Amino acid sequence: MRRPVFRDLFFKSVLLLSLQFCAAHAALAESRVALVIGQSAYRAVPPLPNAANDGKRMTALLGKAGFDVTTAPDLAQNDMRQTISEFAAKVAASGPDTVALVFYAGHGLQIDGENYLVPVDVDPKREADIPLQAVRLNDLMNTLGALPTRMRIVMLDACRNNPFPALNKTTGHGLAIVDTEAGASGWFVSFSTSPGAEAEDGNGSPYTTAVLSVVKEPNLPIEEAFRRVRVAVNQATDGRQIPWESSSLTADFRFFAGDKDTGQSMAAPKPTAARSADDWQKDLAGKEPKVAYDLVIADDSVAAYEAFTALFGQSPYAPRVRSLLDRRREMLAWETAVATNTASSFDTFLANYASSDLAATARSMQERVRNRSLGANAALLQPTDVALGPTCPCTAPLPTPSPLKKVESARPTRRADKTPTRHKRPQVYYEEEVVVEQVVGGGIGYGGGFGGRGGGGRW
């Protein structure tokens, strides 16, 4: 009699384990595909050994989180473009319920307000070489954005210092802002540090290390996970580095589901209204400066930083928060100037930030806009290539026709009725050749536009 009882217990155990397995992976019903790029073996500048190691660690984490991972280290430009194209095909084949994730570790640059991923074979001699030799972040984001997917996650550990001596005096620090809220929904973009700032790369990336540690917690929504990453990196670098993200997600995402998953991991998150500086002051009033500091770092908004500087202006954390606030305002002003792309918009930026690291780029872009305007005006002044026949000066009197036999015009009129129009005279033609001035009405129209940055979306 013991054998049947043992057999029943065995089958019940197997069934229980199966149910727990299904519950733990209920949130992973959607397809998950990831591309991990680690750029270490740069040829024209010193290598980045941490980037390759971070790529390997991220590949292992994402594999455990249910992603089908494509790992592509040390890509030259053509290889990077080909890899992105193949990954896009993989995303498209996975269906509309796909979560597509891209992790990039390596050098990144902003040129004229555009962010670029830097292949290992880049060797620029001037700023204009980067658009030709590198890969635009917007190209990657536009490629993924054109595919029907549930969501797209981009993680960039690419805000390291600019290693190219030829570009140090003409390019801005770090990366430019990417505003996902200005484009399509379903995006989550994370930088290893704030826009316009540079990330550290000592014995290992503090950003990737924090991500690998934080996102392992079961049932942790992605927005909350990266708030914790921000605080962890800030603490690890003594305030020198603070990650940043922009989100337009309409569905929740968790890297790992728990054993008691509620089945709501992909439910739409509750919208949260942005809080004003006054709201933040009410929330922070009465708190210890360190507690208030951690709260505003986790939120990473202009309103939160403004409230902190107003309430804790004398605290040891005030200079750091004030610096963050000033740089964020500057980067927002830069984003506006680049998006507007007029001479006056760059004038406004330079009037407020003449000593910025982006000032040289602003002047260059301003000059380009003015040259483009001059070229357009010059085109308007060029004579049209239309054969009008001999004409006389507008001030010269018309020749007086000799009294000849009139011939009424046989041309059909456009009006069916015979009602004379107010500004129209009857046309009279003469049998002898007469020089007649012909007036031709016309106009020149312009059409066209320049591709937006951020392509996003702000990718």
CA-nearest of 167, 204, 258 to 58 is 204
The owner of tokens 């890969």 is: 135
pLDDT digits (tens, 9 = 90+) for 178-198: 888 777 899 999 999 988 888
pTM of the complete model beyond 0.75? no
Q: Which helix (H) or strand (E) holds 109?
A: strand 108-111
CA 312 to chain centre: 34
Look up residue 459 and give its two tokens: 């990718």
Look up residue 208 and give its two tokens: 């990737």
Provide the pLDDT for residue 332. 92
- Sorted by where each begins, the domain ranges of the chain are 26-247, 277-378
Look up residue 273 and give its two tokens: 């209204």
Structurally, what CATH architecture does the domain formed by 26-247 represent? 3-Layer(aba) Sandwich (3.40)
Helix (H, G, I), strand (E, B) or coil at 304: helix
More confident residue, 434 or 152: 152
Spatial neighbors of 337 by CB under 8 A, at least 6 apart, are 113, 345, 346, 348, 349, 362
Strand duo 68-71 + 31-38: pairing: parallel
Give how far Cα 171 sits from Cα of 110, 162, 313, 356, Å: 7, 8, 33, 11
The owner of tokens 């605080």 is: 231
Question: Is pLDDT at 217 greater than 70 in this prediction?
Answer: yes
- The percent of residues above 70 in pLDDT, for the chain, comes to 71
CA-CA distance, 157 to 214, in Å (whole number)?
16
Provide the pLDDT for residue 5. 46
CA-nearest of 110, 121, 118, 156 to 135 is 118
pLDDT digits (tens, 9 = 90+) for 5-44: 445 544 444 444 443 444 344 444 689 999 999 999 999 9
Provide the pLDDT for residue 171. 76
CA-CA distance, 403 to 104, in Å (whole number)?
87
